[in-house]
Amino acid sequence: MTRTDLSNVQVAKDYTGLCGLVADRIAALVQTKPNAVLGLATGSTPLGVYSALVRRHREEGLDFSRVTCFNLDEYYPMSPKSLHSYRQFMAMNLFDYINCPNWFVPDGLRRSASEIEQDCLEYEARIADAGGIDLQLLGIGRTGHVGFNEPGSSPDSRTRLVTLAEVTRQDAAPSFGGIDNVPRQAVSMGIGTIMDAREIVMMATGAGKAAIVRAAWTEDPTDHIPATWVRRHPNVHLRLDEGAASLLLEASLTN
Ligand code: F6R
């Protein structure tokens, strides 16, 4: 039997260590390529990375003035002014505190299907015009989603309107004050959009992610677990803390 390939996996002792590893990689990229294009994620996982980058900007002068950032997704429908929006999330956790004028989040405003389609094409075109994404940061959802590419998303999917899985809506329910307030849809970059990035850093923290991390890194690529496609990227790095890594390490020892 073949052993699970863990050559692109690094495990930090805890969440602080994990965020330090990822922030170091982003900072190194921005230092060597001041006009780097970053793909960014929301959710709780990258919060410590963003605070580490804010600290490095303040204390070490890490310069984001020529960096361009594209976020993966936004709930739909969602006003960009809502505190539940990913636009506000990114402002409050990163962009209000660093000197990066060029940052984009898909538009969640309610509008017609054809307008959404047009805006999704423009989002893709804007990424291409910026030169493509140098480094895409990803979390992973309990369904195996990356961005909001839920099970069933194909590897060549592009930015589009998607339907959220029930598990994903349940996970979001506490921050929305109940599942009834969680939108049923989102606008998300596709798996194909993500795979076009020159480098991918996927991160996960805590034992609650251990099972899906193991599946993502050991199962054959399948639409049922969208993160399995990401593992096929030629320059992908999985960064975990000990909780999130526990079942993957076990699997690598037993096969
Ligand atoms: C966020 C995103 C999602 C999250 C995932 C994990 O922009 O696209 O794929 O990365 O749902 O969420 P957390 O980090 O809250 O566990």
User: Three-class SS of residue 229?
Assistant: helix
Residue 193 covered by a domain: yes
Ligand 1: residue whose CA is nearest its atom 12: 43
Question: Ligand 1 centroid vs 151 CA: distance in angstroms?
Answer: 14
Helix and strand tally (H, E) in the chain? 9, 10
Question: Ligand 1 centroid vs 141 CA: distance in angstroms?
Answer: 6
Residue entry with tokens 């329910």 = 173
| SS3 sequence of 133-180 | CCEEEECCCCCCCECCECCCCCCCCCCEEEECCHHHHHHHHHHHCCHH
- Closest approach atom of ligand 1 to CA 40: 7
Which token pair is 11? 């495990």
- Residue 243: the pLDDT is 98
Torsion sign (Cα): 7, 13, 15, 20: negative
Residue 42 covered by a domain: yes
Give the mutation target among 72, 167, 240 for probing the ligand 1 site: most ligand atoms within 8 A of CB.
Answer: 72
- Assign residue 147 a region: left if phi > 0, alpha if psi is -120 to 50, beta otherwise? left
- Closest approach atom of ligand 1 to CA 145: 9
Residue 135 covered by a domain: yes
- Residue 5: the pLDDT is 80
Please tell me the total count of domains within the chain: 1
- 43 class by beta-carbon count within 10 Å (0-12 exposed, 13-18 middle, 19+ buried): middle
- Closest approach atom of ligand 1 to CA 45: 14
CA dihedral 163, 167, 171, 177 (to 10 degrees): 70
Q: How far is CA 23 from CA 90, 178, 201, in A?
A: 16, 33, 11
Ligand 1: residue whose CA is nearest its atom 15: 43
Residues of the chain with pLDDT under 70: 1-3, 255
State which amino acid sits at residue 58: R
- Residue 255: the pLDDT is 64
Residue 4 covered by a domain: no
- Residue 1: the pLDDT is 37
DSSP 36-59: -EEEE--SSTTHHHHHHHHHHHHH
Residue 1 covered by a domain: no
Ligand 1: residue whose CA is nearest its atom 8: 147
Ligand 1: residue whose CA is nearest its atom 5: 141
Residue 27 covered by a domain: yes
Q: Pocket residues for ligand 1 (CB within 6 Å)?
A: 41-45, 72-73, 139-141, 145-148
- Residue 3: the pLDDT is 59
pTM over the 0.95 mark? yes
Question: Ligand 1 centroid vs 171 CA: distance in angstroms?
Answer: 10
Note the pLDDT tens digit of each residue in 120-163. 999 999 999 999 999 999 999 999 999 999 999 999 999 999 99
Q: Looking at residue 228, which CATH number applies to its domain?
A: 3.40.50.1360
Residues 33, 52: Cα–Cα separation, whole Å = 19
Ligand 1: residue whose CA is nearest its atom 4: 139
Residue 2 covered by a domain: no
Residue 98 covered by a domain: yes
Ligand 1: residue whose CA is nearest its atom 3: 147
**Domain assignment of residue 248, given as a range:** 9-254
